[in-house]
Chain A
């Protein structure tokens, strides 16, 4: 049982390039989330999906897009990367949305935009 996997583990990207961060879960969780974590700041929600086929904007959605074609996958795309998007990105999932349930996190992707 893998839980949540993310790929790549790390990436160095030139500014202006397009990049997709992959996230897959095998727990059949309905809700999935993308966070970024920066030094000195708490985890900030980028986008979320309460169920397959639906997505929503979090606290810091600008410059990012997501899709949720099925239950398991929730890719995050940076259309044109900028240096301020240098961060550690975590994907998470939970059994249900709209309720205070535990979120399970993937191992993270460390992204550097130069």
Chain B
């Protein structure tokens, strides 16, 4: 079966750095997405990786290792507004998006 694993919840301090991991086992791979979802709101796109390595976008970076079935989202200089759930999703061989359950990130002052 297809499976995407993320930690259920993480806590970090304002101004710090946090890394949210995602491991996947899917039938094929055509890219990995990270989305942010604030409570009660819709998911919004953060990043996309299809090749191994690090993609940096401001305070957010996303890393992919296809051989290990592994990705992480790195958030720097955490702000209170970063409190949200972070969803990892993989495009499988049928170009269907398979979603992880999401990681709820709690930022403390």
Contact = CB atoms under 8 A, between A and B. Distances in A.
B26 to A, nearest CB: 12
B96 A58 contact: yes
Given A42-B100, A45-B96, 13 more contacts: A42-B99, A43-B89, A43-B99, A90-B42, A100-B48, A102-B33, A102-B45, A103-B45, A104-B45, A105-B44, A106-B42, A107-B42, A108-B41
23 contacts: A40-B8, A40-B101, A41-B101, A42-B4, A42-B89, A42-B98, A42-B99, A42-B101, A45-B96, A58-B96, A90-B42, A90-B43, A99-B95, A100-B31, A100-B95, A102-B33, A102-B48, A103-B97, A105-B44, A106-B42, A107-B41, A107-B42, A108-B41
A44 interface: yes
Contacts of B43: 43, 90, 105
Contacts of B18: none
Interface of B: 4, 8, 30-31, 33, 41-45, 48, 50, 87, 89, 91, 95-102
A97 interface: yes
A98 interface: yes
A108 B39 CA distance: 12
Nearest to A103: B97
A33 B54 CA distance: 29
A102 B48 CA distance: 8
Interface in A86-114: 90, 97-100, 102-108
Nearest to B49: A100
A82 to B, nearest CB: 23
Contacts of B33: 100, 102
Nearest to A41: B101
Nearest to A105: B42
Nearest to A97: B95
Contacts of B99: 42-44
Nearest to B94: A98
